[in-house]
Amino acid sequence: MIINSPAIVIHSLRYSEADLIVLLFTKTSGLRSYLLRGVLKSKRGKIRASLFQPLTLLEIEAFHKDKGSLEKIKEAKIQTIYKTLHTDFVKSSLVFFISEVLKNAIKEEEPNTELFEYLETALVWLDEHETIGNFHIVFLTKLTQYLGFYPDVSVDQAIYFNMLDGVFQNKSSNAYCINGQHVVEFKSFLGTTFEASMEIKLSKAMRGKILAMLLVYFELHLHGFKKPKSLSVLNEIFN
């Protein structure tokens, strides 16, 4: 089956001397892996290795067998040309962190249009803005909404955050109920926009605590999720 779809590059892996295996999150078919033969040596082909940098927004034409094997890309081109995402050091660090999170978090080979459009909007926003200190916090918080475990805010005045059940409550009921100033600050990110979240003032230590809490929250709700290896670099930059 031939498909034409927008796609987001999640990961790429060198395979043999000249081939690449790339993992794309497509708008029409969900998460798919593609084998690109000879792309690392080809300089004149329609498909170039440079197209598959992490989180690049593409338009692809591909052949899908839908048998769980590696698919084939017939054509690929840039959908949105980033101005800063792959050249600014801080943003590049965010790109590697986000791509690792998405590689661990998205598993379905089925379309999720709302998730795709959220990621597309978030990446373009990051590319176009300079004040981005809280971006990773609000990005992960909003991402939980599309993955199915956004915190229940109906009792948001409660002091404990029960990470196991994703609710706020007044008493601790299990080992994953936490409280403290980082829980209070985390509530500020619930229901806010990217623009408004950049106005939230956090100390370096507080930002680190909220991020650590969010990653534990992801681990609890996503089978096989692991903390990104790029986390240490991100903490050095933002903390």
User: So what's the pLDDT on residue 138?
Assistant: 97
Domains, the chain, ordered by start: 2-78 (2.40.50.140), 89-238 (1.20.1440.120)
Q: How many CA atoms lie within 13 A of 225 on its CB side?
A: 18
Separation of alpha carbons 230 and 227, rounded Å: 9
Separation of alpha carbons 36 and 29, rounded Å: 18
The one-digit pLDDT tens for each residue of the chain (239 residues) are 999 999 999 999 999 888 999 999 999 999 999 999 988 887 767 789 999 999 999 999 999 987 778 999 999 999 999 999 999 999 999 999 999 999 999 988 889 999 999 999 999 999 999 999 999 999 999 999 999 999 998 887 899 999 999 999 999 999 999 999 999 999 999 999 999 999 999 998 999 999 999 999 999 999 999 999 999 888 888 76
Distance of CA 228 to the CA centre of its chain: 11
CA distances from 160 to 124, 169, 170, 219 (A): 34, 5, 6, 19
Copy the structure tokens of residue 46. Answer: 């329609």
Copy the structure tokens of residue 59. Answer: 């338009």
User: So what's the pLDDT on residue 239?
Assistant: 64
Separation of alpha carbons 204 and 9, rounded Å: 30
User: So what's the pLDDT on residue 170?
Assistant: 95
Count of Cβ atoms closer than 10 Å to residue 157 Cβ: 8
Copy the structure tokens of residue 235. Answer: 């903490």
Distance of CA 84 to the CA centre of its chain: 18
